[in-house]
Amino acid sequence: MFVRIKPGAETEIAAAERPRPMRETAALSPQRRGRIVAGASEIFVRDGYEGASMAQIADAAGVSKGTLYNYFPSKQALFEAFVRERCARLVEQVFGEPDNAALLGLAAELGRIGRIMLRMMMSPDGRAIYRVVVMEATKFPELAQAFYNAGPRTLTERMAAWLTRQIEAGALRPHDAKFAAEQFFALTQTRLLMQARTDAAYFPSNAEIDFVVDGAVEVFLAAYGVTS
């Protein structure tokens, strides 16, 4: 039996069989996005990057997998967002305030920066991010690079810019600001940070933090401070 197809019907059939364009999604909600990143944080910290699944993350965030993919096209994109946002929070805490070096004194401002940095790196969030990145660095080097760019590199650049302003103001001797920033952060990590990263139960006292940071500031200013 033959079926007569009227002229133009072939075009209509072909059009019907073609995939329809996806409808534009509604404006993405910042609150929902934040909930997804928080759910991802919970799963990444618990299971690592490779062990985490998008289904688990969607469940932890209380959204469907379809909704999750509307916000993040892949697990890697979601992990990078998780790391960037945690690191951005640290950068804002360290450098988001006005520069008080001229008002409070250079040593006091260096001490403030050092204490915030050290406490954040030893916080549960700071330890968790570091642990996940180190655990997955061999298999997923791009994740380690994302962490480095969002965290250590950004902090060093912001610190170098701050040091450059102090040099221009005459408060510090001229020097390689980026190298000096790296040295300062390394000094503030003496003794405490490695112990915190290898002993989950260890939390240093305020007196221990003050001892390390004050010592770091003293050594740093001995090297770069302006002598009268």
Contacts by 112-115 with C-beta closer than 8 Å and gap 24+? 113/159, 113/162, 114/184, 114/187, 114/188, 114/213, 114/216, 114/217, 115/209, 115/210, 115/213
Looking at this protein, which amino acid is placed at residue 203? F
CATH of domain 24-73: 1.10.10.60
Domain ranges in the chain? 24-73, 83-224
Q: List per-residue pLDDT tens for the chain, 228 residues long.
A: 444 544 554 444 344 333 333 333 446 788 899 999 999 988 988 888 888 999 999 999 999 999 999 999 999 999 989 888 888 887 887 787 666 666 678 999 999 999 999 998 898 878 888 888 888 888 889 889 988 998 899 999 999 999 999 999 999 999 999 999 999 999 999 999 999 988 888 999 999 999 999 999 999 999 999 876
CATH superfamily of 83-224: Tetracycline Repressor, domain 2 (1.10.357.10)
pTM exceeding the 0.85 threshold for the entire prediction: no
What pLDDT is attached to residue 103?
64
Q: At what angle do helices 106-122 and 177-188 cross, to 10 degrees?
A: 60
pLDDT in tens, 205-214: 999 999 999 9
What's the pLDDT score for residue 168? 94
Name the nearest CA neighbour of 93 among 116, 114, 74. 116
Rg of the chain taking only CA atoms, in angstroms: 25
The pLDDT value recorded for residue 62 is 92
